[in-house]
Amino acid sequence: MEWETPWVDDKVIDIKGEAGISASYSELSDEDVKENIIISIDSVLPDELLERILAYLPIASIFRASSVCKKWNEIVRSHRFLQNISSVLSQKPWYFMFPSTDDSVGFAYDPMIRKWYSIELRCDRTSRWFIASSCGLVCFMDHNTRSQLYVCNPITKISEKVEMPRCSREFDYSGLAISVDRSSHNYTVAIVISKDTPDDFVQWILSIHIYCSEAMRWLSPVTETLTGWRGGDSCVVCDGVFYFLIYSTRGLGFRGNRHGLLSYNLSSRSSSGMLIDSFIQVPCPLTCGRLMNLKNKLVLVGGIGKQDQPGIIKGIGIWILKGRDWEEVARMPHKYFQGFGEFDDVFASSGFDDLIYIQSYGAPCLLMFDMKMREWKWSQKCPVLKRFPLQLFTGFSFEPRIDISP
């Protein structure tokens, strides 16, 4: 495994020890202790135990540990260490926030130690990319030409370019999702694209394209014309099923909910029935909908619109899909909703494990919701500064891992 110079801002503490010390701590005399003889921890702990201890450190501490000495560097980069770190408790998801500029530098928030780290991503002009993540890998697809796609580990900065299918470049709307197999580390990229028909603005041609890293090829199993609906940018793979939101094109006179949910089973690899047959209504009028996979359960975070004015947001809700029904988990308390200041009807939201992040586009404020504890909490203040009134911010969450590469 080859990764670059550590990205963490903290200074590395240089721990030095004398070489050739083989006596264990129990063998040292009282006089030796009084003389403050420096003891190498490598001589006290077996390598296997040292590896296990290092594996339980936060990701940032592991990077610092790799700079302590040559032996620790070799341990952290060894295959056996990566196996150990895969078996311990997973890290909580981080949130990467960046301003909507051409700069690829942003800040990642670690909720375990409540600290922000400066990280530079591989792709330039980060705000101009569709972004999805799963199990430590992040997928980027360029927004303008839709011809470039990269899969990378933002921690180790190891990346891989994936050739895009030509048909994916001709569309009006698109959504991107990635799913990583935790045992084999193979990944699947799923893209849903929508293009309007020349003769009828109500009808949209929707197609799904799937890339498998193991086979290294694309499949395009579904192309379907939807009447009154088009695809969008919110989608996710959850328990082997590709879910994506669709949006009404019926105009201002349409009184129903303007969002719906469609799904496609990735294991089928062929079209079996119509996509529209999988249609599930959203739980209420939404101004914004964000899908996420939390422990193989489909979760929807959405801005709740007023019944008579669905385009105006009055709150934010969280729902979980059970069968074909939505169960409400929580609604954002009004004090947190007000804490964002002026809140737009659209916002950024993503999450993994039991943690959901919600961020307004208009300010670098980050709110967290713990699904297990049912608790709302603000993050530490982000180092990103708002430099002019109309500056926007966005971000995405990902699992910090060093044991996986594309």
Residue 189, pLDDT above cutoff 90: yes
**What is the structure's pLDDT at 250?**
75
| Residue 181: band (very low, low, confident or very high) from pLDDT cuts 50, 70, 90 | very high
Decide: 193 and 168 in contact? Cβ < 8 Å.
yes
**What is the structure's pLDDT at 388?**
82
Residue 20, pLDDT above cutoff 50: no
Please indicate whether residue 225 or residue 45 has the higher confidence score (pLDDT).
225
> Taking all residues of the chain, what is their mean pLDDT, rounded to a whole number?
82
Residue 145, pLDDT above cutoff 80: no
> Using one digit for the tens of pLDDT, what is the confidence trace for 85-105?
776 656 789 999 988 766 667
- Bridge partners, residue 235, by sequence: 244
Would you state the structure tokens that stand for residue 4, as one six-digit string? 């670059």
Would you state the structure tokens that stand for residue 49, as one six-digit string? 């135990």
H or E element in which residue 339 lies: helix 334-339
Residue 12, pLDDT above cutoff 50: no
How far, rounded to the nearest angstrom, does the alpha carbon of residue 1 sit from its chain's CA centroid?
22
| Most distant pair of Cα atoms in the chain: their distance | 93
Residues 264-303 as b/e (b if ≥16 CB within 10 A, e otherwise) read bebeeeeeeeebbebebebbbbbbbbbbbbbeeebbbbbb
Residues in Cβ contact with 348 at an 8 Å cutoff, skipping those fewer than 6 apart: 290, 357, 358, 359, 360, 361, 394, 395, 396
> Using one digit for the tens of pLDDT, what is the confidence trace for 369-393?
999 999 999 999 988 888 888 888 8
> Using one digit for the tens of pLDDT, what is the confidence trace for 327-359?
999 999 999 988 887 667 788 999 999 999 999
Residues in Cβ contact with 325 at an 8 Å cutoff, skipping those fewer than 6 apart: none
Cα 211 to Cα 163, 176, 180, 244, 386: the distances in Å are 10, 11, 12, 17, 38
Residues in Cβ contact with 214 at an 8 Å cutoff, skipping those fewer than 6 apart: 184, 186
Cα 181 to Cα 178, 217, 238, 288: the distances in Å are 10, 17, 12, 29
146: left (phi over 0), alpha (psi -120 to 50) or beta: left
Q: What is the DSSP letter of 167?
A: G
Would you state the structure tokens that stand for residue 195, as one six-digit string? 């293009």
**What is the structure's pLDDT at 45?**
75
> Using one digit for the tens of pLDDT, what is the confidence trace for 393-404?
889 999 998 888
pTM: 0.85
Residues in Cβ contact with 199 at an 8 Å cutoff, skipping those fewer than 6 apart: none
- List the one residue out of 219, 58, 237 whose CA is nearest residue 134: 237
Please indicate whether residue 23 or residue 379 has the higher confidence score (pLDDT).
379
Please indicate whether residue 206 or residue 64 has the higher confidence score (pLDDT).
206
The residue behind tokens 């721990």 is: 15
**What is the structure's pLDDT at 25?**
33
**What is the structure's pLDDT at 296?**
93
Q: What is the DSSP letter of 26?
A: G
- What CA–CA distance (Å, rounded) separates 115 from 255? 45
- What CA–CA distance (Å, rounded) separates 218 from 213? 9
